[in-house]
Structure 1
Amino acid sequence: MLRRLIPSLIAVAALAACGSPGVTPTSSGPSSEPQPGGTITIGIDSEISALDPIANQIAGQATLVVANAVYEPLFTDGPAGALEPGLGESLTSDDLRTWTLVLQEGRTFSDGSPVTAQAVVDHVRRLGDPAAECQCAALAAEISDMAVVDPRTVTFTLAEPNAGFPRYFTRQLGMIASTTAEATDGSPLGAGPYRFEAAAAGSSLTVTRSSNYQGPAPHADTVVFQFLPDPDSRYQSLASGTVDLAWVDTPNLIAQAQSEGRTVATANASTTTAFLNAQVAPFDDVRVRQAVQAAIDREALLAVVDQGQGVVANGPILSRSPYASGTQYPAFDPDRARGLLAEVGQPISFAYTTDSRPQSMQRATAIQQMLADVGITMTIDVVDTATWGTKLYAGDFAAIEFVTSAYADSDAVMGIFEPEASGNFGGYMNPEVGALIAQGRGTADQDERKRLYADAAQKIVDDVPVLFFTESPAGFVADTSIGGMPDLHDRNVISLPPGQLWTTAQ
């Protein structure tokens, strides 16, 4: 069957980039007890022109902080890939096909109306409507039936068993939005600690404390999100005091923040890869894919491009995944690459598509030089983000850089390697891999699922539909006046709850 594209796969790929290693904060912020009141300004890397979860803009890692302010998700990403309760108390299943959701007691939307089981059903139906064009519609389509058991309980029946179903509710499907009440900007009301206050097109979004929030009381009265797409300018805004926190995803800026004694909360939360198009020459020949794989010195990329920050990625199952089992990625071996190319017996050339971020350009240039050393000619095709997305969806590439946080969820991301997957951009076809992934997703035995995923991951690495480079950090840097910054080093996804932050600069 047609497998789904996991939530915000494209959005996070377009926005994610490399940073520093998963590190504990370099300072703990103010030593005083949490202080109520004041305004906290957070610099993020993209504009939020539509706060509604259906519009996809608040589903990327850097923008989950906005979602957590207004639409507290049912569940959030916790340490080592575990899920932590938000609006949801629990989501359980005996057979991975029928799931029971229990909501926290007494939670309300920001107008005081209750968050009920029916509100959850209405929200999922709204986002699942294909006409809405939500990236999560394909996920909602896996639900064959929803039933309200009581005001706090919903049952979901899936078309097929799916061990990864709970994680669907950490992003849009879990950002429960009212279908009966709107904020002044026309966005649906949420049940988070803050509610919409004002917006300046292309510049900022302001939220204020919700008097009807029933969870732990947020500390700051107001949170302002400033849209600052350029990473250097965003950091300078932090240094100058224009913002109190800033999203960071480049190694030099995180290193600078650490040296300046700022609070740094990052994790290896994005994976840098490149899709190879297995449907067109030269990569329709597995020997060419394997030769390129063998010719790239990933440790050198880590040292030079990532400044030694992060770790090499050894396949689709990350080192922090509960399914990690030691996938064997081939060592850097130029002689093996030359031998494979000799078997092919013809010159190899291709274009490598990437965007214009300095780090991406530096990586592409380094790879170009490595491949030239074994006799492969690689040209660099630099495009803007919109063109990159168009080429990716259309399969209009030979090789294309792909940086994403999607690999944080092994249960979901393994699905992009199934033959009919909507996220299988390079046209990789291995029915044996697809069968292993489907079996893993459908078994309730986690040890057996780990074994099946491990077998699939090794075959994927051997077949080389994707080049895996680094598990790369990203996160937030804060001024020392900000307290409540969490230690995120053991997270697979950066999901910062702004309600727990406070400021002494009032």
Structure 2
Amino acid sequence: MSSWHFRRRRLGLLALSLAVAVVAIAGCGAEAAGPRAEGPPKPGGNLVFGLGVDPVSLNPQGGASGNGALYVTRQLVDSLTEQDPATGGLVPWLATKWEVSPDAKVFTFTLREGVTFSDGSPVTAQSVKDNFDSIVAAGAKASGALPFLTGYARTVVVDPLTAQVEFNASNGAFLQATSSSALGLLAPSTLAVPFEERASGKLVGSGPFVLDHYTPNSEVVLRKRAGYDWAPETRRNRGEAYVDTVTFKIIPEAGARTGALQSGQIAAASDLPPQYVGLLRDSGYSFVVRPNPGLVYGFSLNQAAPVLADSNVRRALRSGIDAAEVRDTLLTPDFAVATSVLAKTTPGWLDQSASIGYDPDEANRLLDEAGWRRGADGIRVKDGRPLVLNTVSVSNFGPNQSILELLQQQLKRIGIRMEFKNGTVPEWLETLKTGAFDLAWGNFSRADGDVLRMTYAAAGNNSYRIDDPELEAALRGQQATADPQVRAQFINAAERLIVDRGYAIPVVELTSIIGQSGEVHGIEFGADSRLQQLNDAWVSGPH
């Protein structure tokens, strides 16, 4: 086992059965462990990468939402901008420059000359228009991209290399969205294919790799694109990829995926459960690690639930949760205890750790003050009603079941009974829609503070029934401008309100982890903590 041991006081044994999708720590790159080749990158070879989930859809505009899909599609499509993982700022990519109107309704992009899709067709302003129009026309089917185009009016082709994107309402977060693979540009030949058929891989992009074939539940094979030379300035290698091919092997069972890495069948792997991370570290494997930006894992509270109407109950919940115990018992040190509703890798993050610390004495005091008294079984009762909170969760993150079981025990210590159900994404969404819940456990990854608006604004789905004009003003304020500093001020204000008024309870930051053998070099995460384009990756071994 690793020199760092899981605490076994309660749920340590449960860790042995977890099948987790894990992610990474801010500021950390690949750890130095095991033999590493010296000298310049070695061209050629095949990078074999193990995925824990099948992509299902390779259409970046719709359906390609899990890591299995995002890791693959990022290799095939380029975006107008690139978000620098180190600073959170945007740098040129397909667009060499851009201008934004003061009201964040008009975005004008000047495109790079000489860029082509892999079928030889040019990347032009018409490409931008056709892609964005296609997303809006697809409607709900374009689930991966449509939320970024809220209020989209049209794209005007000013000249062959100038596209003017116009919105009916301010959309200050759109500029960051142009760095996502969801808004990556597809060739006219792909846009001519019915939207549903693109899922199987009938797509052409301008990226450094092209699709060789996709066999569902087996593998995705990509080939290097000859002549590629327009990677953004954040890449060390801005030209053709070093490796000849990338093979994504789909290996759902975590033990089998870890074994394949140890035996040399694959050279790198994602979705590694915590117990295997420790084992691999002890064996000399290195890791690429970075926390996911966006909403941390935690509880969002249904403000319409009668039991949560009292702010004392909401504050007691916050004080009764020991996030460090959750991390130390079920995860690894790669995961950080949350310090805000946003992860530290999110532009606009504000440290609120002083407001969300574990304090069971304060939790008990607040519940006593609210009139909730301990019953014979230790659960508090008021007006004949036990203090029971119904919680919904999604089973897409392996440790969720065990984490909720531990949180259940923690809340029981202060007299709260938490009952929970882990379900599918459709079940989760339906429950949020009906409002038949008290707490919702989950996270939302996005490298922009606008994730708060997408989650908590009353003007949206309003899943948490929040009626707070001050919060709404902050969320709308950050959307009304593209100025990063002004947006950050509004985002900070929203963070404070969400935590201080008990609309959410942050617990732990989701972290992405890729394990790799000593023959792999140059794998990195992007600002979204998803696999970056593999321009810089190379292999020194037999693959």
TM-score range, shorter chain: 0.7 to 0.9
Does residue 1:362 correspond to 2:402, yes or no?
Answer: yes
Q: Deviations over 1:317-353 (max 9, x none)?
A: 3334442343352322223222332314413112333
Task: Tell me the equivalent position of 1:211.
Answer: 226
Q: Contact 2:80/2:184 (CA < 8 Å) preserved in 1? A: yes
- Counterpart residue identity of residue 534, structure 2: P
Give 1:185 deviation, angstroms: 5.7
Mapped partners of 1:134, 1:195: distance in 2: 22
Mapped partners of 1:492, 1:157: distance in 2: 25
Task: Tell me the equivalent position of 2:108.
Answer: 100
Give 1:302 deviation, angstroms: 2.4
- Counterpart residue identity of residue 128, structure 2: V
Does residue 1:318 correspond to 2:328, yes or no?
Answer: no
> Relative to structure 2, which stretch is displaced further, 381-390 or 47-56?
381-390
Task: Tell me the equivalent position of 1:113.
Answer: 121
Task: Tell me the equivalent position of 2:83.
Answer: 77
Give 1:20 deviation, angstroms: 5.5
Aligned to 2:54, which of 38, 47, 70? 47
Task: Tell me the equivalent position of 2:5.
Answer: none
Task: Tell me the equivalent position of 1:233.
Answer: 256
Q: Contact 1:54/1:134 (CA < 8 Å) preserved in 2? A: yes
Mapped partners of 1:141, 1:436: distance in 2: 18
Mapped partners of 2:202, 2:285: distance in 1: 35
> Relative to structure 2, which stretch is displaced further, 349-358 or 370-379?
349-358
Give 1:370 deviation, angstroms: 1.2
Aligned to 1:195, which of 210, 222, 227? 210
Larger radius of gyration: 2
Task: Tell me the equivalent position of 2:460.
Answer: 421
1:450 match: secondary structure: helix
- Unmatched runs of 5 consecutive residues or more in structure 2: 1-18, 231-238, 373-381
Mapped partners of 1:401, 1:480: distance in 2: 37
Give 1:393 deviation, angstroms: 4.9
> Relative to structure 2, which stretch is displaced further, 59-68 or 180-189?
180-189
Q: Contact 2:150/2:171 (CA < 8 Å) preserved in 1? A: no
Task: Tell me the equivalent position of 1:8.
Answer: none
Give 1:413 deviation, angstroms: 3.3
Aligned to 2:439, which of 396, 399, 404? 399
Q: CA RMSD in A?
A: 2.8
1:54 match: secondary structure: coil
Q: Contact 1:20/1:254 (CA < 8 Å) preserved in 2? A: no
Task: Tell me the equivalent position of 1:372.
Answer: 412
Task: Tell me the equivalent position of 1:338.
Answer: 364
Distance 1:239 1:492, change over 3 A: same
Distance 1:482 1:463, change over 3 A: same
> Relative to structure 2, which stretch is displaced further, 215-224 or 29-38?
29-38
Task: Tell me the equivalent position of 1:494.
Answer: 530
Q: Contact 1:92/1:100 (CA < 8 Å) preserved in 2? A: yes
2:363 match: secondary structure: helix
1:467 match: secondary structure: strand
Distance 1:429 1:170, change over 3 A: same
- What are the within-5 Å matches in structure 2 for residues 74-223 of structure 1? 74-78=80-84, 79-95=86-102, 96-131=104-139, 133-135=141-143, 136-181=145-190, 187-211=202-226, 213-215=228-230, 216-223=239-246
Does residue 1:255 correspond to 2:264, yes or no?
Answer: no
Distance 1:463 1:47, change over 3 A: same
- Counterpart residue identity of residue 72, structure 1: D
2:217 match: secondary structure: coil
Task: Tell me the equivalent position of 2:12.
Answer: none
- Counterpart residue identity of residue 448, structure 2: D
Task: Tell me the equivalent position of 2:71.
Answer: 65
Distance 1:111 1:451, change over 3 A: closer
Distance 1:293 1:243, change over 3 A: same
Q: Deviations over 1:20-65 (max 9, x none)?
A: 64433123843242222222121223212332223321x4455432
1:144 match: secondary structure: strand
TM-score norm. by structure 1 comes to 0.87
Mapped partners of 1:441, 1:498: distance in 2: 32
Mapped partners of 2:300, 2:132: distance in 1: 32
Task: Tell me the equivalent position of 2:63.
Answer: 56
Give 1:444 deviation, angstroms: 5.2
Mapped partners of 1:160, 1:386: distance in 2: 30
Q: Which of structures 1 and 2 has the larger relative contact order (alpha carbons within 8 angstroms, sep 6+)?
A: 1
Q: Contact 2:453/2:476 (CA < 8 Å) preserved in 1? A: no
Count of residues paired in the alignment: 487
Task: Tell me the equivalent position of 2:521.
Answer: 483
Q: Deviations over 1:94-123 (max 9, x none)?
A: 412221112222111111111111011101
Q: Contact 1:19/1:251 (CA < 8 Å) preserved in 2? A: no
Q: Deviations over 1:213-267 (max 9, x none)?
A: 3431011221111223343432222222222221135433333333322231111
Mapped partners of 2:61, 2:495: distance in 1: 32
Give 1:88 deviation, angstroms: 2.8
- Counterpart residue identity of residue 319, structure 1: K
Give 1:467 deviation, angstroms: 1.7
Distance 1:254 1:81, change over 3 A: farther
Q: Contact 1:250/1:474 (CA < 8 Å) preserved in 2? A: no
- Counterpart residue identity of residue 442, structure 1: A
Mapped partners of 1:344, 1:239: distance in 2: 57
TM-score norm. by structure 2 comes to 0.82
Give 1:296 deviation, angstroms: 0.6
Aligned to 2:508, which of 435, 459, 470? 470
Task: Tell me the equivalent position of 1:33.
Answer: 40
Q: Deviations over 1:281-335 (max 9, x none)?
A: 4234433222211111122222222233332223333334442343352322223
- Unmatched runs of 5 consecutive residues or more in structure 1: 1-14
Task: Tell me the equivalent position of 1:298.
Answer: 323
Mapped partners of 2:341, 2:536: distance in 1: 33
Q: Contact 2:106/2:165 (CA < 8 Å) preserved in 1? A: yes
1:312 match: secondary structure: coil
- Counterpart residue identity of residue 73, structure 2: A
Distance 1:18 1:65, change over 3 A: closer
> Relative to structure 2, which stretch is displaced further, 363-372 or 443-452?
443-452
Mapped partners of 1:173, 1:442: distance in 2: 22
